[in-house]
Amino acid sequence: MLNDDDILVLFRDLESDRVERKASSADMKKIRRAVCAFANDLPGHGLPGVVFVGVNDDGTCAGLDITDDLLKKLVEVRSNGNILPIPSVQVDKRMLDGCEVAVIQVEPSSAPPTRFEGRSWVRVGPTTHQTSQEDERVLRERARAHDQAFDRRAAFGSILDHLDIDYFTREYLPMAVASDVLQRNKRDTEEQLASLRFLTGNTPTNGAIMIFGREPRDFIPGSYVQFLRIDGQELGDPIKDNKELTGPLHRIVKHLDELLDLNISTALKFVDGSREHATPDYPVAALLQLIRNALIHRNYETSNAPVRLYWFNNRIEIHSPGGLYGQVTKDNFGKGATDYRNPLIAEAMANLGYVQRFGYGIPTAKRLLRENGNPPPEFEFQQTAMLATVRPRP
Q: What is the pLDDT of residue 272?
A: 59
For 351, the enclosing helix (H) or strand (E) is helix 343-351
Could you give the CA distance from residue 282 to residue 385 in angstroms, rounded to a whole number? 24
Range from 15-29, 131-145, 171-185, 341-355 carrying the lowest mean pLDDT: 131-145
Helix axis angle, 343-351 to 249-263, nearest 10°? 70
Strand partners, 154: 205
Q: What is the pLDDT of residue 271?
A: 55
Could you give the CA distance from residue 380 to residue 387 in angstroms, rounded to a whole number? 5
Domain boundaries, the chain: 4-130, 148-216, 225-390
Report the pLDDT averaged over residues 353-366.
82
Residue partners of 25: CB distance under 8 A and separation at least 6: 31, 53, 70, 73, 74, 102
pLDDT digits (tens, 9 = 90+) for 316-330: 999 999 887 777 778
Is a pLDDT exceeding 90 seen at residue 35? yes
Is a pLDDT exceeding 70 seen at residue 277? no
- Residue among 260, 350, 349 at smallest CA distance from 309: 260
For 53, the enclosing helix (H) or strand (E) is strand 49-53
pLDDT digits (tens, 9 = 90+) for 3-20: 889 999 999 998 889 999
Q: What is the pLDDT of residue 146?
A: 60
Which pTM value belongs to this model? 0.69
Could you give the CA distance from residue 92 to residue 196 in angstroms, rounded to a whole number? 31
- CATH for 4-130, options being 3.50.50.60, 1.20.1260.10, 3.90.550.10, 3.30.950.30: 3.30.950.30
Computed over its alpha carbons, how large is the radius of gyration of the chain? 23
Could you give the CA distance from residue 253 to residue 285 in angstroms, rounded to a whole number? 12
Could you give the CA distance from residue 10 to residue 52 in angstroms, rounded to a whole number? 10
Say which DSSP state 162 is in.
G
Q: What is the pLDDT of residue 187?
A: 81
Q: What is the pLDDT of residue 274?
A: 58
Q: What is the pLDDT of residue 382?
A: 86
Secondary structure (3-state) at 289:
helix
CB 108 within 8 A of CB 81: no
More confident site: 278 or 228: 228
pLDDT over 90 percentage in the chain? 60
Say which DSSP state 27 is in.
-
Could you give the CA distance from residue 102 to residue 94 in angstroms, rounded to a whole number? 6
pLDDT digits (tens, 9 = 90+) for 58-103: 999 999 999 999 999 999 888 777 898 889 999 999 999 999 999 9
More confident site: 355 or 35: 35
User: 252-276: b or e for each residue (b if 16 or more CB lie within 10 Å)?
Assistant: bbebbeebbeebeeeeeeeeeeeee
Confidence of residue 140 (pLDDT cuts 50, 70, 90): confident
Q: Which CATH class is domain 225-390?
A: alpha beta
pLDDT over 70 percentage in the chain? 95
Secondary structure (3-state) at 258:
helix
Average pLDDT, the chain: 89
87 preceded by a cis bond (ω within 30 of 0): no
CA angle (168 as vertex; 203, 214 as ends), nearest 5: 65
Give the full edge-to-edge strand order of the sheet including 19-22. Answer: 19-22, 49-53, 99-106, 89-96
CB 374 within 8 A of CB 393: yes
Q: Where are the beta strands (DSSP E) in the chain?
A: 19-22, 49-53, 83-84, 89-96, 99-106, 115-116, 119-124, 127-130, 199-200, 203-204, 225-230, 239-245, 266-271, 275-280, 307-311, 316-321, 378-381, 385-390
CB 74 within 8 A of CB 104: yes
Q: What is the pLDDT of residue 273?
A: 57
Q: What is the pLDDT of residue 147?
A: 64
